Amino acid sequence: MRLKDRVAIITGAANGIGLKASEVFAKEGARVAMADFNAEQGEKRAQELREKGYEVTFFQVNVAQRSSVDEMVEKVREAYGNIGVLVNNAGITKDAMLSKLSIEDFQAVLDVNLTGVFHCTQAVLPSMIENGKGKIINTSSVSGVYGNVGQTNYAATKAGVVGMTKSWAKELGRKGINVNAVAPGFIETGMTAKVPEKVLDQMKQMVPLARLGKPEEIANAYLFLASDESNYINGAVLHVDGGIMM
């Protein structure tokens, strides 16, 4: 097993990519802390994974609030011990054209997608430093690399995640902590399920592989970066986008 007995926190774990990553990590032997704001959904999904024989526990958290993050991390350490892997997967969208984007919606996306990544990473650092090693995986997006119409706030946060990833990789590498990012393209999730079929077809036409990605394809990228197979990868942004960035 590639993650045997490692303690991993995955944020945004109640659905979509985070949920699939929780299953993939647990299948590979990790003790997974499924962290999410949605307590009802998170508890339900964690129970479903436990029924499959996986070692997972749900922890409610609001990544935008530091006190909530600190409390979650402390509970994970009490339950499982020192944290070896952090996947900063939680994220939200509040899309609008620039002329119509409210200050509140702009700030809300920054609070979760950017400040939340800072909160979670800083909170787990003492545990990883004590271990003398760790893996931090941040979720960016192709939108953060090339921008996207109607996503000023989202694209800004995902570009910021890349900058933080590279800065932390330089700071923390000497402490045995690898910091990398994954930049998903168009993925089949609850978000894309709401997109009209005509728009989905247009999205697929932009991708050389001519299809949307699957959550497990992002989860497998997380797994690789969390495993020993990536021990000499640091400060990288792994694009999992079907070739859309070529």
Q: Which of 54, 80, 146, 154 is catalytic?
A: 154
Between CA 145 and CA 226, with CA 94 as vertex, the angle to 5 degrees is: 50
Q: Please indicate whether residue 146 is annotated as part of the active site.
A: no
Asked if residue 203 lies in contact with residue 238, where contact means CB atoms within 8 angstroms, the answer is no
- Give the C-alpha distances (Å, rounded to integers) separating 191 from 3, 22, 30, 38, 131: 29, 19, 28, 16, 37
- Tell me how far apart the alpha carbons of residues 30 and 87 are, in angstroms, rounded to a whole number: 13
Cβ contacts of 147-150, under 8 Å, gap ≥ 24: 149/97, 150/95, 150/96, 150/97
- Tell me how far apart the alpha carbons of residues 175 and 135 are, in angstroms, rounded to a whole number: 11
Residue of 36, 41, 83, 45 whose CA lies nearest to 64: 36
Where in the sequence numbering do the catalytic residues fall? 154
